[in-house]
Structure 1
């Protein structure tokens, strides 16, 4: 078997996509291989400028790689990014210095060059290394997407980047873009994770207490594709909404009006009744956007929400409800019994849910209003919102941590980090989705991926034909009444969950008592208790989210023990285990109380 075939077989078992792509490319005609003075083979490439470049040392490429790797402080490094692979001499030097737990990503932009190297070098053992990932022949965006598919942001303690000097000279734009996008993707992932960890118990609590609404609500998937080719307006509550909201009254029969919850009151005050209101925020404070609207004003409006929103909203709502799924672990657990109800994307802001809904409904174009993502006029929201009734609708750049960003007209606008993150996510979403997105906010900082025109022009261009949006929604609203059998199944699942939580609580209580008796010592029973808790949670993946903050803190404290003297390390280890068991015990008790309440509600008690 020739070297290329041998390497290709190793890749086949590890990365089927790369295997298939390599079979379709030929070796690079602009690459040649010459011996270095040490006898090791090095690649020479012909640049676009007509010059030839050696990718490694002409003297001793192995020694060069060792010297570069030796200069790195490897303590604490959790991930390695190799930008430019070439003949791969740096890879063994790196892998020899890191543990198998450290993930190494080797990025090679040129798949033809990569194939040429596979014909000359035996990389079969290298390819089989479980912690080595080859990212080959992909755009910076796809390369980052591939990396993020195997990267857990919680585990990123230190990222070491190896920049191949010749590659950087030849492909600087590629690698600079990749670095920027990867850094941003990790940041966004961490924002998502931190949000999930902060609010996971509250989200789970709301979801479990709202289970009773499953039987009286319709799955939002009933609506998917129902408005294909019809225009939609997604109404957000940014300050610029005041500029053009009044025009909606004249065209409400020619467009599907989807409002975020914050924009509900501003619309109702102007006698504009949206067809759909979207809610996604699980905080009880979000109910304020609803309670300021009389219930009788809501009876002909459809609510689209996930079970995680505050139970106060479901209880107050007088219209009909379509339930959606944001893809959380707890919703997967529920829908395994209930069935698919319709997945919508969410990222930090309810406006992302509303836009995702418009796309899933088939709407085209999707017109945005009030999507400032900035403090236009130094205001947080449009008029008539709940916030507008308080003094907090005004922002003071001198008193708050605000950022400057260019608006639609190239002028400075005040914004915030979270708003910039929402804008970046939306712009990436607009690039991926084949749909016409029109920004008629007439203010703010959303520029890329959308066509920017004022709302009067949008009306003239897109909103000419009337259609019965409310009639379509009424016809497709159909609750999945599964009866007593379904209710019994859900109750059984809840009782099984309660049993697991009681077992976790019992393990924690036993180990806390054992820690007191051992007086500062750790034995195998204590360590086994930790593993038993992890094992029990694996059957209920959403519980891992609820308990994860304690395990992250515990892992960090255990990691620090290596740097301490033995006598201090033992005491710190005991404290870490005590913190873990105490925190998990209290959280388990909170979950048990919620599950008991949910069971009572499902039984109608």
Structure 2
């Protein structure tokens, strides 16, 4: 089998779209692969720029020397900027991944020039690289698409731990030929990393708010049906997301007559605006944990929520649930808390806003097409932030509204938005890239969401909305209300879990306390003595590092994952990122030990404190569950 065929077979298997693109083209002749002077390696010539990619007599050795000379301490995550003849990737694999890397590793190879790639794969067997589970290729891919894809990939698995120890490896001639492109790729990768850091958060206490709310909402979870009952029930039926952007005023009137011709879903903030215009959605989404969300329903009456389903995640504040007079559907986010509960209700991969959630919900229901209105994600005329009638006004003024930037608009080259809206927009782009549904942006203003078709709401209605869908009948007929036997089984099983979790948490808390004492010993005795006398007790330092590392490894146990990781995941991940970042960048061994123990000291002290907050939450949940079981209600 020829080298070219081996490569094409591998591409067809893993990258079918790239395979199709490459199959339809032939090399232009700009690039030529030749034998080098030493006869052992090939070289690549760019005839247009009149350059050899590598040393004429020894193509590979200088590349390998450069890679070794970088002395990379944490090689697990690397971004390759340009392919050439794949010498940088080979040297990196041989000298780092295959020798020193431990744990999960990922190499992302970016190549701008599909012509050079097409030429090279005729002569260089890269089939093993293509099929390698830990290697991802981006060939002729725009930086924005790379950013969206990496944002999703970084959040999955263990590779996110190495975000702060990321390595950028340039193929010199590739980088030189397309410098602006690769600089934009670097920015895109860093944006994806930034999104990941934001996603997992920096405040350990933030994580507990949703957990506490979930425990306080345990009876809502047990008593109500879940979104799992609705999966695919509206396959091929149109869905409409009604959001509260300023442009909603242009076309909200067109909802008249569509009440039974599409599945209408709105974020919580849109309900009041819809009511003011005489409309009701079929479902309202909600996911914010703070008590302020309850104010969105201050003026909402029981009549307003009659035949409207509240599809909320149980991390919302209990006051938000209590303000809702209508029916409820439980929707889980992909949090370990809900996995631990083992009360199956259905899980959606939800973005950061209730608008993102509304889109994901309609997609889960099988709606096609999905039409967005009022999804501006940008400031409107005169700086308006919301449609008239919004609970917080059409020009809301909070500090984060001042953190602005310019992005591409649907109907104008540039439009002003803010960082939070831009984050929401990126999630829409990522979600749309994964759905098989046609997505119509009928906002008639606002920021551009790549992957959508832009048209007016009237055009979307004329093209896609016609037949009745009987939305309320299908929703009510599909939901399975838990009976009393199911509810009691959930109560008993959850109480048993909480009892086990309480004992385990007390044991872990004690381990973390002993780690705090060891870290204190290092700073108060070993480091202090070093500062005063110059003597450094390396032996005891290593013992402390080994012991604290063993204690931190408790976080990798199955018991910890099932019982506690859902409370501390964001802070744990951040701390692991920080430790790998220190190890990658410390100037010498002693500095590395000092900085690692700084991170560890903060980690153990914080985790000990978190355990002190979690234990009362378990005790409160025990009381609720026992009370419900004893009352028999």
* Deviation, structure 1 residue 590: 1.1
Could you give the per-residue CA deviations for residues 203-236 of structure 1, whole angstroms, max 9, x where no partner exists?
A: 2222222222223211212222222332222111
Query: Structure 1 CA distance, aligned partners of 2:387 and 2:405?
Result: 20
Structure 1 counterpart of 2:406: 404
Structure 2 counterpart of 1:294: 301
Structure 2 counterpart of 1:531: 553
1:436 and 2:438 matched = yes
Could you give the per-residue CA deviations for residues 562-605 of structure 1, whole angstroms, max 9, x where no partner exists?
A: 65896x98887776554333211110121111122222222335
1:418 to 417, 420, 427: 420
Could you give the per-residue CA deviations for residues 440-462 of structure 1, whole angstroms, max 9, x where no partner exists?
A: 22221135322333333333443
1:595 and 2:618 matched = yes
Contact 1:280 1:306 in 2 (8 A): yes
1:505 to 499, 503, 509: 509
1:357 and 2:361 matched = yes
Contact 1:36 1:58 in 2 (8 A): yes
* Deviation, structure 1 residue 3: 12
Query: Structure 1 CA distance, aligned partners of 2:580 and 2:172?
Result: 35
Structure 2 counterpart of 1:210: 217
Contact 1:236 1:263 in 2 (8 A): yes
* Deviation, structure 1 residue 261: 0.3
Structure 1 counterpart of 2:244: 237
1:583 and 2:603 matched = no
Q: Which moved more, 1:57-66 or 1:510-519?
A: 510-519
Query: Structure 2 CA distance, aligned partners of 1:186 and 1:244?
Result: 37
In structure 2, stretches of 5+ residues that fail to align are 527-540, 629-633
1:386 to 387, 391, 408: 391
Query: Structure 2 CA distance, aligned partners of 1:205 and 1:301?
Result: 27
* Deviation, structure 1 residue 508: 2.8
**Partner of 1:388: helix, strand, or coil?**
coil
Query: Structure 2 CA distance, aligned partners of 1:571 and 1:168?
Result: 37
1:65 to 1:361, Cα distance in 2 relative to 1, 3 A: same
Structure 2 counterpart of 1:486: 490
What TM-score results when the alignment is normalised by the length of structure 1? 0.80
**Partner of 2:372: helix, strand, or coil?**
strand
After TM superposition, list the pairs within 5 Å mapping 1:259-408 onto structure 2.
Answer: 259-334=266-341, 337-339=342-344, 341-377=345-381, 378-388=383-393, 393-394=396-397, 400-408=402-410
**Partner of 2:332: helix, strand, or coil?**
coil
Query: Structure 1 CA distance, aligned partners of 2:411 and 2:597?
Result: 59
Query: Structure 2 CA distance, aligned partners of 1:18 and 1:372?
Result: 34
For these two proteins, the number of residue pairs brought into alignment is: 580
Could you give the per-residue CA deviations for residues 452-483 of structure 1, whole angstroms, max 9, x where no partner exists?
A: 33333333443343443222222222223314
Contact 2:108 2:138 in 1 (8 A): no
1:118 to 1:426, Cα distance in 2 relative to 1, 3 A: same
Contact 2:516 2:604 in 1 (8 A): yes
* Deviation, structure 1 residue 355: 0.8
1:71 to 1:526, Cα distance in 2 relative to 1, 3 A: closer
**Partner of 1:156: helix, strand, or coil?**
helix
2:525 to 520, 525, 550: 520
In structure 1, stretches of 5+ residues that fail to align are none
Structure 2 counterpart of 1:476: 478
After TM superposition, list the pairs within 5 Å mapping 1:144-159 onto structure 2.
Answer: 145=149, 148=154, 152-159=159-166
* Deviation, structure 1 residue 39: 3.8
- For the aligned residue pairs, the C-alpha RMSD in angstroms reads 4.4
Query: Structure 2 CA distance, aligned partners of 1:516 and 1:421?
Result: 40
Could you give the per-residue CA deviations for residues 83-123 of structure 1, whole angstroms, max 9, x where no partner exists?
A: 4445544346545478525855455774884474339xxx9
After TM superposition, list the pairs within 5 Å mapping 1:457-468 onto structure 2.
Answer: 457-468=459-470
1:196 to 1:215, Cα distance in 2 relative to 1, 3 A: same
1:220 to 210, 221, 227: 227
1:550 to 1:583, Cα distance in 2 relative to 1, 3 A: farther
Contact 1:203 1:308 in 2 (8 A): yes
2:566 to 529, 542, 547: 542
* Deviation, structure 1 residue 200: 2.0
Contact 2:238 2:368 in 1 (8 A): yes
What TM-score results when the alignment is normalised by the length of structure 2? 0.77
* Deviation, structure 1 residue 167: 4.1
Contact 1:197 1:549 in 2 (8 A): no
* Deviation, structure 1 residue 262: 0.6
**Partner of 1:140: helix, strand, or coil?**
coil
Could you give the per-residue CA deviations for residues 335-369 of structure 1, whole angstroms, max 9, x where no partner exists?
A: xx333x33323122211110111122222222211
